[in-house]
Structure 1
Amino acid sequence: MSQRQIILDTETTGLYAGSGDRLVEFAGLEMTNRHFTGKNLHLYVHPERDMPEEAAAVHGLTIDVLEEKNAPVFAEVGQQIADFLRGAELIIHNAKFDVGFLNMEFQRMGLPTIEALGCTVTDTLAMARQMFPGQKASLDALCTRFEVDRSKRVYHGALIDCELLGEVYLAMTRGQFSLADSFAESAAEAAVNRRPRPEYLKVVQPNEAELAEHEAYLDTLEKTSDGHCAWRPKAAEAGA
């Protein structure tokens, strides 16, 4: 059974999980076998503090907007998020940031960390830097590189960023899976070639009727070729 993958993104009040900043939006899109399952989780979260103007300018979420959305505090949804993530491979762009905030919020509630939930983490930022050294590796830059339409991305919202990241991740890894398919086909062919083969071929001798039929056929060839039957010269010479 294929492992669940979750394309994940968060939005926060700032950059520092250890200095009082809080999570304000969570989005996760589930994928198995490189196909989105439709099982997703998207939540707005009240940070229980003010929203800095510079943060709101990035994601468009003010405290008023969150209150209009009746956004719960993290303590009300933390268990739901943890259960959704448990045991999955998390696909995150700049994973250290999002994992740091999730772990901070989980620990405030006494919940297990991402690692303790049995999750593995794939950082697409690190992947991009390895694939394209010296090139821009932001999500915007990767969307441009892989021709992913980001025209609907007005703000850095967690849900739209997950949708874009999902397409980017599939594009980034398409070659790996094509290569894996080729290896699988080669392995299957090799397995067929390794099947035990008989050490000899069984020789079936003709019976008298079959020999007589064969000689009659050669007689016909000899008559139609004016005695130049290719199957009888040596026999004729041997009998001379």
Structure 2
Amino acid sequence: MREIVFDTETTGLSFSSGDRMVEIGCIELINRVPTGASFHAYFNPQRAMPIEAFNVHGLSEVFLSDKPCFHERCEELLDFIGDSPLVAHNAGFDFGFLNGELGMCGRPHVHGERMIDTLSIARVKHPGAKHTLDALCTRYGIDLSQRTLHGALLDAQLLAQVYIELTGGRQITLGLAVEAESALLQPVQAPVRNTVRAARSFTISDAELERHAAFIAQMDQPLWGKAPS
């Protein structure tokens, strides 16, 4: 099963209010295992970058000024995601911007049935706990040392690991891998053949019988010599 884990960075919180997508990062999973295939792009939003958004992801107007607009890489993105389910954290937010940008390009929206929201999964699996990406990475021992600012590709890579943990995929895959490796490392053994040995015969000499009788005679009232009461 192919799935795409993705994250976006934007100029703000609402596409309908004029905010735009400025970055997207996508990670390919096959049967919950990262394949190494990815898609990453920055986009020129053709609008100012609010300081609040800049403080989150560090993408300035100057940096984005020479980047392509979304419509210039739209087809490449659609080719990568194909018809696979799309995994995101607080997925409604990312889907809102993705579909907003697709709509501006005259392309159909990605259907909501393809959406997998790791935030919803985390709330069910860990009720009452913190469900931010940072909190889930800490819970599952995922390295956050490189996450000084939000970045779509890095966050998608981290989310892929969180998603695998939330769905138990890593343990299942690891167990199968260990079992397979163990089987491969076992030495090849020849089949065991059961052989039937002939019964041994023992011969007792007259001298041995005499020594045994003398030993028994030394015993004082042996149990086997008592008459039953």
User: Do the two structures share a fold, i.e. TM-score over 0.5?
Assistant: yes
TM-score under structure 2 normalisation? 0.73
- 5 Å matches for 1:1-240? 3-67=1-65, 70-115=66-111, 120-174=114-168, 178=172
CA displacement at 1:34 relative to structure 2: 2.1
Give, in whole Å, the separation in 1 of the partners of 2:82 and 2:171: 25
**What amino acid does structure 2 have at the position aligned with 1:20?**
G
Q: Contact 2:5–2:29 (CA<8 Å) still a contact in 1?
A: yes
**What amino acid does structure 1 have at the position aligned with 2:104?**
R
Q: Contact 2:32–2:169 (CA<8 Å) still a contact in 1?
A: no
CA displacement at 1:178 relative to structure 2: 3.8
5+ residue gaps, structure 2, are 177-229
Identity of aligned residues (%): 46
Q: Contact 1:7–1:31 (CA<8 Å) still a contact in 2?
A: yes
Give, in whole Å, the separation in 2 of the partners of 1:103 and 1:90: 13
Give, in whole Å, the separation in 1 of the partners of 2:20 and 2:126: 32
5+ residue gaps, structure 1, are 183-240
Give, in whole Å, the separation in 1 of the partners of 2:171 and 2:144: 25
Question: Helix, strand or coil: the match of 2:129?
Answer: coil
Question: Helix, strand or coil: the match of 1:104?
Answer: helix
TM-score under structure 1 normalisation? 0.69
Question: Helix, strand or coil: the match of 1:46?
Answer: coil
Q: Contact 1:9–1:26 (CA<8 Å) still a contact in 2?
A: yes
Highest RCO, 1 vs 2 (Cα 8 Å, sep ≥ 6): 2
**What amino acid does structure 1 have at the position aligned with 2:103?**
Q
Give, in whole Å, the separation in 1 of the partners of 2:137 and 2:149: 15
Aligned length: 181
CA displacement at 1:138 relative to structure 2: 0.4
CA-atom RMSD, angstroms? 2.4
Structure 1's consecutive aligned runs of 4 or more residues displaced over 4 angstroms after TM superposition are: none
Give, in whole Å, the separation in 2 of the partners of 1:8 and 1:173: 17
**1:135-190 deviation digits (Å, cap 9, x = unpaired):** 110000001100101010011110110111111111111269749x99xxxxxxxx
CA 1:164 to 1:52, structure 2 compared with 1: closer, same or farther past 3 Å?
A: same
Q: Contact 2:32–2:170 (CA<8 Å) still a contact in 1?
A: no
CA 1:177 to 1:154, structure 2 compared with 1: closer, same or farther past 3 Å?
A: closer
Give, in whole Å, the separation in 1 of the partners of 2:60 and 2:170: 41
